[in-house]
Amino acid sequence: MLRRTLLLGLCRGPLGRGLGTHRGGSILGKVEGRGGYRGSWMAPSSSSVTFRTQDPAHDVKTVGRLGGGDRDGKMSEIKKKIQSILPGGDWNPLYDTSYLPPEGSDVVIVGGGVLGLSVAYWLKKLEKPRGAIRVLVVERDHTYSRASTVLSVGGIRQQFSVPENVQLSLFSVDFLRNINEYLAVADDPPLDIQFNPSGYLLLASEKGAAIMENNVKVQRQEGAKVCLMSPEQLRNKFPWINTEGVALASYGMEHEGWFDPWCLLQGLRRKVQSMGVLFCRGEVTRFVSSSNLMKTASGEEVNLKRIHEVHVKIDQSLEYQPVECAIVVNAAGAWSGQVAELAGIGNGPPGTLQGTKLPVELRKRYVYLWHCPQGPGLETPFVIDPSGTYFRREGLGHNYLGGCSPTEEEEPDPGNLEVDHDFFQDRVWPPLAQRVPAFETLKVRSAWAGYYDYNTFDQNGVVGPHPLVINMYFATGFSGHGLQQAPAVGRAVAEMVLEGHFQTINLSSFLFSRFYSGEKVQEHNII
């Protein structure tokens, strides 16, 4: 054994890892290894693979019927060791590099939340042939302590004003209903996302009644099951509501409700790992790209950029790994704006396409959990007040979750996730108590804060490639409804990456270029 190590040690370069990349493919068969390249290894030809098996255990003289079974096991161990030593394997005599991402990957997804994992899942599902694409997901927060996915209230609805949003939600609800067919992993228990099909109830005042009617028409056209209710019908159905100031209400009968986002995230993660997607715990600190000055058909000159390498800095370390990539997907959620800036998006004179930044920012939102023993019962839907305050039932013990989106002037500082309890007293409780008189006596049990990946332009998502940085794709900016559209958006981005155009749901109105051309796709029903 020692002799063999010395033999190999002498053959290698002084460093275990060196420059360049070398991947897979030894003569001993397919080796699926991470960690890449091994220094100046001379290509072994079959005749010069000389391994001296002088160990007494493998002495030919002692072979016989008794040693037969052991031999098989020991031989296969030896073969595994040989495979890991040869180029492409992941044995490194100097130090362990298993925490590093691979040196190259076809697609690098920045951000491992529900949108990033959904893109990874659909890339692996729609790729032809199977195993063709190597996908790497880079997530710097492996406990998901600040991720929007797990801090969200988990609602899903089709009551949007933009038809594409309705289609995205309908597909996502279909995905959630058949989640155990989509995300089935052999020998693992089925997923229970604990979906509450209680529906959403949107209330509108006099001013918003006409817009609501219009929206409901659009939603019904796309196939959502929404019904309009007058204040009289509202009082009959939900006697605990005070209908003062409410002119119209729209109630989702089917396919709307809330579920457990953590379960969806874990289900996606498990499935995506079983499909062979690589994960890395690190932060993207740099993009290495190259530019080309090209001429469009009309003779105009454009500077097209292409990202070649992604520098992934490992958590709590100064070490980084340059990952060569073909495509980068920006699914970094609330931090997508910073990732886009790293790629040079927005570096240019304002008013031009080069100078258009990705308008996604961090916005902090609070969620409060309270207990009200006389509160509404089991039939409580997800109620959204005209003032923007919302609440929903949580569990069977008369607990409720709710909150409110602050106005632009009172936006809290997104530097940390501290909760402001005065916000509940001043902005959330009064409209709630007015709408549901039983909420005049309640006790706040707990609260938390999370980030919205808020699109300051029109509060709708950005999907698709950037017109100038041609291999960066966006899947972000959904401003609070990203979780409920994640499965559908993931599929749209995967189709864009693999086919070049949207196939199932046409999201061309959600492309980046609308920020430059100024065409807003304003979503009115944002909570």
Partner 1 sequence: MSPQIEACSAVSAFRVSVNTQEARIKRQQKASPTKARDGIADTHPLGVGKDRTLQAQRLLSHPPQSLHLVAPVWNGGTRGIGGLSRVVAPEGNQKKGRSLLQFLADRFYDVEALRDHLLRKQVSKVHQKNRPFNHINQRYGPYVAGAYFILKQGGAVRFQGREWIRPNQRGHFSLDFLKLQAVPVEAVDASGCAINYQGLDSLLALKELQSLWLQRCPHVDDWCLSRLHPLASSLQELSLAGCPRVSERGLACLHHLWNLRRLDISDLPAVSSPGLTRILVEEMLPSCEVLGADWAQGLKLGPEEQPRDTAGPTPA
Q: Is the peptide bond before 359 cis (omega within 30 degrees of 0)?
A: no
Kindly state the smallest distance separating residue 264's Cβ from partner 1, in Å: 15
Distance, in Å, from the CA atom of 457 to the CA atom of 441, rounded to the nearest integer, reads: 39
Kindly state the smallest distance separating residue 254's Cβ from partner 1, in Å: 5
Please name the residue that has the structure tokens 């949108």.
115
For residue 189, what is the DSSP state? P
Which C-beta is closer to partner 1: that of 307 or that of 401? Answer: 401
Which C-beta is closer to partner 1: that of 86 or that of 277? Answer: 86
Which C-beta is closer to partner 1: that of 125 or that of 357? Answer: 125
Which C-beta is closer to partner 1: that of 71 or that of 313? Answer: 71
Kindly state the smallest distance separating residue 60's Cβ from partner 1, in Å: 5
Burial category of 342 from C-beta neighbours within 10 Å (exposed 0-12, middle 13-18, buried 19 and up)? middle
Kindly state the smallest distance separating residue 75's Cβ from partner 1, in Å: 5
Burial category of 156 from C-beta neighbours within 10 Å (exposed 0-12, middle 13-18, buried 19 and up)? buried
Distance, in Å, from the CA atom of 382 to the CA atom of 402, rounded to the nearest integer, reads: 9
Kindly state the smallest distance separating residue 402's Cβ from partner 1, in Å: 17
CA-based radius of gyration for the chain = 28
* Beta strand spans in 265-319 (E): 278-295, 301-314
Kindly state the smallest distance separating residue 177's Cβ from partner 1, in Å: 5
CB 329 within 8 A of CB 446: no
CB < 8 Å & 24+ apart, contacts of 470-473: 470/304, 470/305, 470/306, 471/306, 471/307, 471/325, 471/326, 471/327, 471/328, 472/307, 472/327, 472/328, 472/329, 472/330, 472/340, 472/343, 472/345, 473/327, 473/328, 473/329, 473/330, 473/497
Kindly state the smallest distance separating residue 517's Cβ from partner 1, in Å: 41
DSSP 5-30: HHHHHHHS-SSSS-SS---S-BTTB-
Which C-beta is closer to partner 1: that of 50 or that of 407? Answer: 50
Which C-beta is closer to partner 1: that of 210 or that of 227? Answer: 227
- The footprint of partner 1 (CB under 8 A) covers 27-30, 46-47, 49-53, 58, 60, 63-65, 68-69, 71-72, 75-76, 79, 177, 181, 184, 186, 194-199, 253-255, 257, 377-379, 393, 396
Give the N- to C-terminal CA distance of the chain in Å, as an integer.
66
Kindly state the smallest distance separating residue 396's Cβ from partner 1, in Å: 5
Token duo for residue 16: 């275990």
Which C-beta is closer to partner 1: that of 48 or that of 145? Answer: 48
Which C-beta is closer to partner 1: that of 75 or that of 294? Answer: 75
